């Protein structure tokens, strides 16, 4: 972001978003007796992703800010794709983002109430059982400018619909043979009013209600009513539901016996570049083993981001910055990475890790000598203190911190050149040894004893500083470097290609034989660190003592733009 954009963001942060402004207006008008109640309504058919985090932040955030309550409601109306594994992961992810729900509800808890409401509509002549196939029904729908055609079953006797509806639920009717439709208006300009399907038959057992029900309500018939049953005041969702809102209101008007109404308000989705977010596609990646699981650190899922080392603080910052509007667009993944980097920068310890090691030998340093060097844990936070780091004659350094024939502006190790070893001495490179293939196997230098902290030339300045790890004190580690999962900004927009063909073959690079400082011996899964000069890393869940595994959360700087124009 440039300064102007950043100022705009700051300005925006201070002012209310349009949803907050609406809630304040409602409160000022005394609507709903000053009550604020929201809900987050995930369907338990997959893991939550960063898009859901945006919905979570507004649903829970509004309740928090205005002294209300936000409930969690599992929108479990389709047993085909739903599972308790997903329910559990959703609970965990919401807590991780720092929110606590009031109650946990399930749409399936309302199956009886919804059923009774459907019966009421049939009795009032506002719903009928249609025996046509899905294709026939679709064909009769018409277009926004051409009215639809009435189903031949539209005017069947109420008694007949009541009887068939019972059969839809008893198991006598095979899937796909009958549906219940609301009888509204086949010529309505809003297509959702053209006798929408409100119940269908599914014979697969439900993860909570088992085989009690065979007739299941459709989303449009369950969502608004569930809001109503629970007493939701502000029902927030993404823009694609805007066209459903009149139907949402229509059903509630049929149901309500007082002035109370939940009100639906829509905001823009979060769409992230270089990834896919549809649960169907994410499931495909998992099932086809194109990623290692829902928690693969390259996935846009919250469980994947957590494993990768993304922080709730970073995610909140990102969501604050992109804000809530009425216009859909793409959000740049580097803005998310920037927000995560900013958060980690404030909070995590600096350590030394060498990804691609080569040995540096200080030929004038006594063999068998060990010194303790003082290292600042986090220059951004003095309270994090300092630690001792071991220094010896043999050090691991980054292979690309040495060059035998270096260009003029190369300020790292090259014969004749001096560099500062971070927290230690200035050393002067004297040469290297190579194997038969010409690969550098050892680099040589001489140290200047006067340049350590506390010595007369401690503050002598040289152009380059490099990091290092003492060879006898180092630990072996595997480091996993992640990059964008897809090669194009919007994989879903490439209509002629399957999204799987657009995956980045270099999205995971595993480096083994890396060397890290002894301090990391005790590091636990999810612990985050800055590997100085390289980036932010965290400990993977597959890490174990003696076999450390680190994930690169984000590089220190955004190198993507530079590489790719
Ligand atoms: P599906 O593909 O199964 O419909 P979904 O992503 O819509 O999945 P839900 O579980 O139905 O998932 O979503 C729960 C809530 O999260 C909804 O209110 C939805 O509007 C919101 N949501 C889903 N995706 C995004 C997104 N990308 N940005 C913001 N909110 C989202
Ligand atoms: Mg959905």
CA of 50 to the centre of ligand 1 (A): 10
- Cα separations (Å) of 243 from 196, 251, 484? 13, 14, 34
Residues 458 and 546 in one domain: no
482 assigned to some structural domain: yes
Between CA 397 and CA 196 the distance in angstroms is 67
Per-residue pLDDT band for 230 (boundaries 50, 70, 90) equals very high
CA of 48 to the centre of ligand 1 (A): 9
Residues 110 and 30 in one domain: yes
- Bigger pLDDT: 559 vs 45: 45
Residues 389 and 307 in one domain: no
Residue whose Cα lies nearest atom 22 of ligand 1: it is 52
13 assigned to some structural domain: no
List, for residues 355-402, the tens digit of each pLDDT value: 999 999 999 999 999 999 999 999 999 999 999 999 999 999 999 999
> Residue 565 has what pLDDT?
39
Nearest atom in ligand 1 to 241's CA: 20
Which residue among 235, 267, 299 closes a domain? 267
Residues 82 and 151 in one domain: yes
Between CA 336 and CA 241 the distance in angstroms is 26
279 catalytic? Reply is yes
Q: What is the 3-state secondary structure (H, E, C) of 381-427?
A: CHHHCEEEEEECCEEEEEHHHECCCCCCCCCCECCCCEEEECCCCEE
Return the ∠ at Cα 555 (arms to 465 and 96), rounded to 5°: 130
Ligand 1, pocket-test mutation among 43, 44, 52, 242, most atoms within 8 A of CB: 52
Q: Is the pLDDT of residue 564 over 50?
A: no
Q: The CATH number of the domain where 283 resides is what?
A: 2.40.240.10
| CA 471, chain centre distance (Å) | 38
CA-based nearest residue to 200, from 121, 84, 118, 107: 118
Show the tokens assigned to 25: 């207006």
Nearest atom in ligand 1 to 238's CA: 20
> Residue 562 has what pLDDT?
47
555 assigned to some structural domain: yes
CA of 535 to the centre of ligand 1 (A): 32
Q: The CATH number of the domain where 103 resides is what?
A: 3.40.50.620
337 assigned to some structural domain: yes
Phi and psi angles of residue 361, each rounded to the nearest 5 degrees, phi first: -110, 125
Catalytic residue among 181, 261, 279, 552: 279
| 208 neighbors 197 (Cβ within 8 angstroms) | no
Per-residue pLDDT band for 530 (boundaries 50, 70, 90) equals very high
Between CA 409 and CA 421 the distance in angstroms is 19
171 assigned to some structural domain: yes
List, for residues 156-165, the tens digit of each pLDDT value: 999 999 999 9
Show the tokens assigned to 318: 């990102």
How much is the pTM? 0.93
> Residue 11 has what pLDDT?
60
Which residue among 241, 267, 293 closes a domain? 267
Ligand 1 lining (C-beta closer than 6 Å) = 41-43, 45, 51-52, 54-55, 237-238, 269-270, 277-279
Residue whose Cα lies nearest atom 18 of ligand 1: it is 237
Q: What is the mean pLDDT of residues 337-363?
A: 98
Q: Is the pLDDT of residue 495 over 90?
A: no
| CA 478, chain centre distance (Å) | 25
CA of 270 to the centre of ligand 1 (A): 10
Residues 419 and 497 in one domain: no
Instruction: Please tell me the number of the ligand nearest to residue 269's CA.
Output: 1
Residues 107 and 74 in one domain: yes
| 217 neighbors 114 (Cβ within 8 angstroms) | yes
Angle separating helix axes 245-255 and 111-123, nearest 10 degrees: 80
2 assigned to some structural domain: no
Which residues 6+ apart lie within 8 Å of 235 measured at CB? 38, 39, 223, 224, 227, 248, 262, 263, 264, 265
Nearest atom in ligand 1 to 56's CA: 16
CA of 277 to the centre of ligand 2 (A): 12
Nearest atom in ligand 1 to 277's CA: 27
Residues 408 and 461 in one domain: yes
346 catalytic? Reply is no
Residue whose Cα lies nearest atom 26 of ligand 1: it is 51
| CA 402, chain centre distance (Å) | 38
Residues 145 and 39 in one domain: yes
Which residue among 448, 467, 486 closes a domain? 467
372 catalytic? Reply is no
Per-residue pLDDT band for 44 (boundaries 50, 70, 90) equals very high
Q: Is the pLDDT of residue 47 over 90?
A: yes
> Residue 453 has what pLDDT?
87
Residues 71 and 173 in one domain: yes
Number of domains forming the structure of the chain: 3
Catalytic residue among 35, 81, 269, 281: 269
Domain extent for 552: 279-349+477-564
Q: What is the mean pLDDT of residues 123-150?
A: 96
Lowest mean pLDDT among 79-83, 518-522, 557-561: 557-561
Nearest atom in ligand 1 to 81's CA: 3
Residue whose Cα lies nearest atom 10 of ligand 1: it is 42
251 SS3 class:
helix
- Cα separations (Å) of 75 from 45, 83, 109, 228, 355? 9, 12, 10, 14, 46
Residues 129 and 208 in one domain: yes
Residues 209 and 306 in one domain: no
Between CA 407 and CA 470 the distance in angstroms is 28
Q: Is the pLDDT of residue 260 over 80?
A: yes
Q: What is the mean pLDDT of residues 207-211?
A: 94
4 assigned to some structural domain: no
Per-residue pLDDT band for 10 (boundaries 50, 70, 90) equals low
Nearest atom in ligand 1 to 55's CA: 30
Residue 67: DSSP 8-state = T
> Residue 12 has what pLDDT?
54
Per-residue pLDDT band for 545 (boundaries 50, 70, 90) equals confident
Residue-averaged pLDDT of the chain: 95
Percent of the chain with pLDDT over 70: 96
Q: What is the rounded (10 degree) CA torsion for 487, 488, 489, 490?
A: -120
Show the tokens assigned to 193: 């009013």
Ligand 1, pocket-test mutation among 238, 239, 282, 492, most atoms within 8 A of CB: 238
Residues 127 and 261 in one domain: yes
Percent of the chain with pLDDT over 90: 93
Q: What share of the chain is helix, strand, coil (3-state, %, to 5)?
A: 35, 25, 40
274 assigned to some structural domain: no
85 SS3 class:
helix
Between CA 532 and CA 468 the distance in angstroms is 10
Q: What is the 3-state secondary structure (H, E, C) of 137-191?
A: HHHCCCCCCCCCCCCCCCCCCHHHHHHHHHHHHHCCCCCCCCEEEECCCCCCCCH
Q: Is 536 exposed, middle or buried (0-12, 13-18, 19+ CB in 10 A)?
A: buried
- Cα separations (Å) of 301 from 53, 128, 518? 9, 41, 32
| 272 neighbors 50 (Cβ within 8 angstroms) | yes
What's the count of helices (H) and strands (E) in the chain, helices before strands? 14, 25
Compute the chain's Rg from CA coordinates. 31
| 169 neighbors 179 (Cβ within 8 angstroms) | no
CA of 57 to the centre of ligand 1 (A): 13
């Amino acid at each position: 972001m440039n300064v102007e954009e950043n100022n705009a963001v700051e300005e925006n942060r201070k002012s209310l978003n349009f949803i907050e402004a609406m809630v304040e207006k409602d409160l000022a008008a005394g609507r709903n007796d000053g009550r604020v109640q929201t809900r987050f309504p995930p369907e338990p058919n997959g893991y939550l992703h960063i898009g859901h985090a945006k919905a979570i932040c507004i649903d829970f955030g509004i309740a928090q800010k205005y002294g209300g309550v936000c409930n969690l409601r599992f929108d479990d109306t389709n047993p085909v794709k739903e599972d308790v594994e997903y329910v559990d992961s959703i609970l965990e992810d919401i807590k991780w983002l720092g929110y606590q729900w009031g109650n946990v509800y399930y749409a399936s808890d309302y199956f009886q109430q919804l059923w009774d409401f459907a019966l009421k509509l049939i009795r009032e002549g506002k719903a009928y059982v249609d025996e046509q196939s899905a294709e026939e029904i679709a064909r009769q729908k018409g277009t926004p400018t051409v009215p639809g055609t009435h189903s031949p079953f539209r005017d069947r006797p109420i008694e007949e619909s009541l009887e068939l509806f019972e059969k839809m639920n008893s198991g006598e009717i095979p899937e796909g043979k009958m549906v219940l439709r609301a009888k509204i208006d086949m010529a309505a300009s809003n297509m959702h009013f053209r006798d929408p399907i409100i119940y269908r038959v599914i014979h697969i057992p439900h993860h909570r209600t088992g085989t009690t029900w065979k007739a299941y309500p459709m989303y449009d018939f369950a969502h608004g009513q569930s809001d109503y049953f629970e007493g939701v005041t502000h029902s927030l969702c993404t823009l694609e539901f805007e066209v459903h809102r009149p139907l949402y209101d229509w059903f509630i008007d049929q149901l309500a016996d007082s002035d109370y109404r939940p009100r639906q308000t829509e905001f823009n989705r979060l769409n992230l570049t270089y990834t896919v977010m549809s649960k169907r596609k994410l499931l495909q990646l998992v099932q086809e083993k194109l990623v290692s699981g829902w928690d693969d650190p390259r996935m846009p899922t919250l469980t994947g981001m957590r494993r990768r080392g993304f922080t709730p603080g970073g995610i909140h910052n990102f969501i604050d910055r992109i804000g809530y509007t009425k216009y859909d667009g793409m959000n740049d993944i580097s803005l998310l990475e920037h927000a995560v980097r900013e958060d980690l920068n404030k909070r995590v310890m600096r350590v030394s890790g060498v990804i691609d090691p080569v040995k540096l030998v200080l030929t004038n340093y006594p063999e068998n000598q060990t010194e303790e060097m003082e290292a600042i844990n986090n220059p951004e936070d003095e309270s994090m203190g300092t630690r001792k780091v071991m220094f010896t004659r043999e050090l691991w350094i980054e292979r690309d911190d040495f060059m035998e024939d270096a260009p003029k502006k190369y300020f790292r190790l090259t014969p004749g050149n001096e560099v500062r070893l971070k927290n230690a001495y200035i050393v002067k490179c004297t040469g290297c040894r190579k194997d038969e293939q010409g690969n550098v196997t050892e680099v040589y230098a001489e140290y200047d004893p006067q340049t350590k902290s506390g010595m007369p030339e401690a503050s002598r300045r040289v152009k380059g500083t490099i990091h290092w790890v003492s060879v006898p004190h180092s630990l072996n580690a595997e480091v996993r470097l992640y990059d964008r999962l897809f090669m194009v900004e919007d994989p879903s927009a490439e209509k002629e290609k399957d999204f799987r063909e657009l995956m980045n073959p270099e999205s995971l690079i595993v480096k083994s034989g890396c060397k890290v400082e002894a301090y990391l011996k005790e590091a636990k899964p999810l612990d985050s660190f800055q590997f100085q000069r390289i980036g932010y890393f965290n400990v993977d869940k597959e890490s174990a003592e003696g076999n450390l595994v680190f994930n690169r959360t984000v590089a220190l700087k955004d190198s993507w733009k530079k590489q790719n124009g």
